[in-house]
Chain A
Amino acid sequence: MSGAVGEALIEVADVEKVFSVRRKAGRLRRVRQEVRAVEGLTFTVPRGEMVGYIGPNGAGKSTTIKMLTGILTPSGGRLRVAGLDPSRERTRLARRIGVVFGQRTTLWWDLPLKDSYELVRRMYRVPDAAYRANRERCVELLDLGPLLDVPVRQLSLGQRMRGDIAAALLHDPEVLYLDEPTIGLDVISKAKVREFLREVNTERGTTVLLTTHDLTDIEQLCRRVMVIDHGRLVYDGRLDGLRAAGEGERTLVVDLERELPPIDGLPGARTVKVAGPRQWLAFPAGQSAAPLVAAVAARYPLVDLSIREPDIEDVIARLYAGGVPGVAAPPAAGR
């Protein structure tokens, strides 16, 4: 694998994609209508990073991935993956990337799993030694051993998904695009897939762009997350920053010695619930809990306390609903 960690592997600058759709308008008349799937999209992904790419259905996630792999041509802007222009050099790029679509399969439906791998080896001209090592590693980490001789059509969804992920990695791609890799999987399969992806990213240094609706995937795998909505990037930064940016609130739960009237008069916090001696205080996620704890402890007979982080799903639901004013994509400083 060439290139240093930290060098920009994916560069997207001001990219837009406009689809022209013909719509019925009357019995024979058709009206051409422009649909902007993506606009003003700008981000870079350094080599070796694992980035979560999330957004509601129809936000432009798949369009972005298709442009990054070269099967859709952007209507405007500049796009580079590993120094190549994807739509112009699709086949050359294809040798250097891996793609997994959770809802589609690259495997040969009627034939045993290992036949598909054999085909991948020939298609990407993977050297024998590398092929054997990669296959062995994937088989071991993804528990594919007993499945190699089973025709793909007989695999369960979770098994097939693992088989597909392995197929995408046999040629040592520099970038791995995953489109909903855990969709429809049970808890155990999800855990296995996540563990494997983490290993691929940390051990092999493979850059990963992960699209998902399952926020647990993101929470467990990605430090950085990009949120797209209506074709625009509405957030790009660290996952914990998303909570603050989403104006999420953390909750301080305090157990007092006895039942008391709602705590008030503390700066930046408000009491949202009282149940016997237990009280819930909400405060902005961006604010430190320490002064608040100190203030409560100084004025009230405190027995115990705990802090609850804002639920990432709530934060993102608010982002999607546009309920977070002023959260545009922050300048990509420091990246």
Chain B
Amino acid sequence: MKSPGPVLLVENLHKSFGGVAAVAGVSFALDAGEMLALIGPNGAGKSTCFNMLSGQIRPDSGAVMLNGEAVGGMAPRAIWRRGVGRTFQITATFASMTVRENVQMALISHHHRLWRSLRPARRLFVAEAEALLGPVGMAEQAERAAGELAYGDLKRLELAIALAHAPRLLLMDEPTAGMAPAERGGLMALARRLANARDIAVLFTEHDMDVVFGIADRILVLDRGRLIAEGSGAEIRADPRVRAIYLGSGETSGGH
């Protein structure tokens, strides 16, 4: 059963830190199978937005609706249980475990075996973990310590972890940062395929504009905490306000 309406609906989201507005009234919607890019200069509020969607930061006001349920202000665990997976701008994995064990932990948690099983964790959900590592290209490195992976491989591992509980929504914060240009396209094409095949809604931030314009169905442009433009790649390219903040003509900077 698919619930009607968007997977994610964000309405008038606000967050200030010490009187400075980091996110000031952001609203947007995201459908299943759609890839939405959130772009903007440094300090525009992208990561704050992400952290409010996945629960690391509590919004001051505004609504985050996930499949019609209000999840704004919930803890990261609760939001994850409702089908949101995410990767981090600065990767966060378990360094003292192998690549496979990292994925196994997500599977174990998803299947509610954290407290209930007295079996060794490394014997649980082995096949399922392998199945997740294959598509992201990490199967050969399954036995390696996560703590010694190259940065690009950590990003791939995070993607496998984020997909472990078959999420409805995937949040990817700078998924290709630190990767070689050739790898970037590959990873995002993979995300694209997954979004289509599993009907996952994907929201991502990205600095590499080739990646953004090449892969996103729709693009949101954030500047100083506000959405200043929304549309397809072609529409965004043509938008004078976007050109202003990126190219710095200064004519309409701030735009309010």
| A and B part of one assembly | no
